[in-house]
Structure 1
Amino acid sequence: MCVDTRLEDPRWQGCDLAGLAESAADAALRHLGLQPDLCEISLLGCDDAAIADLNRDHRGQAGPTNVLSWPAVDLAAEASGAVPSLPQPDFTGEIALGDIALAYDTCAREAAAAGKPMADHVTHLVVHGVLHLLGYDHIRDPDATLMQRLEVEILGRLGLDDPY
């Protein structure tokens, strides 16, 4: 698998964002029956100011957030609580999943407030972002239940506690 990680904020180097992202994405993809070595994800490690701009420009929301994702293909299920379609490889055999952005400031603040290691929180947010790329969402209650169950299962396989 290729998680192409770009760090705009150097503070991300201190928590090995690239390594955490690779591990979290690998676990999420394998859990859903996908071959990680065929999948491509772009990851941006930025700060609150940059993610606030992205949040405003792409979601019409003011202020920073912890994670944003942009799927390459809309895989969302139409029925509430249904499992999304699996992505299909392109003509090269690869699966471009999309882009994820993480804000250092918000992630660090949330981890501290929850009393958990930054690495654990970032791992959770990468899993969360990957699930969004794969068509999972949490807007409707049945969809949120499905997505959270998957997050808990994937994080459990990585030895991390239930974040909820």
Structure 2
Amino acid sequence: MATPQLSLSVQYALKPDDVPTRHQFRRWVKAALQGDAEVTLRVVDSEEGQTLNREYRDKDYATNVLTFVYDDMPEDAGLPLMGDIVLCDPVVRREAQEQGKALEAHYAHLVVHGVLHLQGYDHETDDEAEGMEALETQIVTKLGYDNPYQIKEDQ
């Protein structure tokens, strides 16, 4: 099987010194990608994250990651998978701290999570959640990070 081709655009609405680099984002997206894709990944503040979550999911709070799939193209058009992944930096930071995780590892996990959503994976049912979490864990640990679902004992 050929290596999936990736066109990745990374946008920083805010860019603290320790937010992941374009190179890191590309590595994480490619690790989870199963076919060709055109992806825009955007790092946002709480205000933009909350606005997007409210407008598209009817939830009035900022969330860690939002995935938008451009699925209105005919499947036989021969086009790559296309979509956006939005990461809310303040939420990602807060969660990493609360969960005792390194910021980089949490970002990696959420990027993998978003890319899997782009490809049709979901976690609406227990079976879906179990399958998606297993795949996320496999990808994230292969990237060299800890199992994102393992609870740290020393918390």
TM-score (norm 1): 0.80
Q: Which of 57, 67, 70 lines up with 1:69 in the alignment?
A: 67
Q: How far, CA to CA, are the matches of 1:111 and 1:148 in structure 2?
A: 17
Q: For 1:14, give the aligned amino acid.
A: D
**1:145 maps to 2:130:** yes
Q: How far, CA to CA, are the matches of 1:41 and 1:89 in structure 2?
A: 20
Unaligned runs of 5+ in 2: 1-5, 150-155
Tell me which of the two structures has the higher relative contact order, counting C-alpha pairs closer than 8 angstroms and 6 or more residues apart. 1
- Name the Cα RMSD after superposition: 1.9
1:37-56 equivalent positions in 2, closer than 5 A: 38-56=36-54
Percent identical among aligned pairs is 35
The residue number in structure 1 matching 2:145 is: 160
Q: Which consecutive segments of 4 or more residues in structure 1 shift more than 3 A?
A: 88-91
More helix by share: 1
1:1-164 equivalent positions in 2, closer than 5 A: 1-11=6-16, 13-29=17-33, 32=34, 34=35, 38-73=36-71, 90-91=77-78, 94-164=79-149
Alpha carbons 2:37, 2:80 under 8 Å: kept: yes
**Can you list the C-alpha shifts for 1:104-142, whole angstroms capped at 9, x where unaligned?**
100001111111111100000000000000001111111
Alpha carbons 1:48, 1:105 under 8 Å: kept: yes
Q: How far, CA to CA, are the matches of 1:90 and 1:25 in structure 2?
A: 23
Alpha carbons 2:85, 2:114 under 8 Å: kept: yes
TM-score (norm 2): 0.85
Q: How far, CA to CA, are the matches of 1:89 and 1:105 in structure 2?
A: 39
Q: How far, CA to CA, are the matches of 1:127 and 1:115 in structure 2?
A: 19
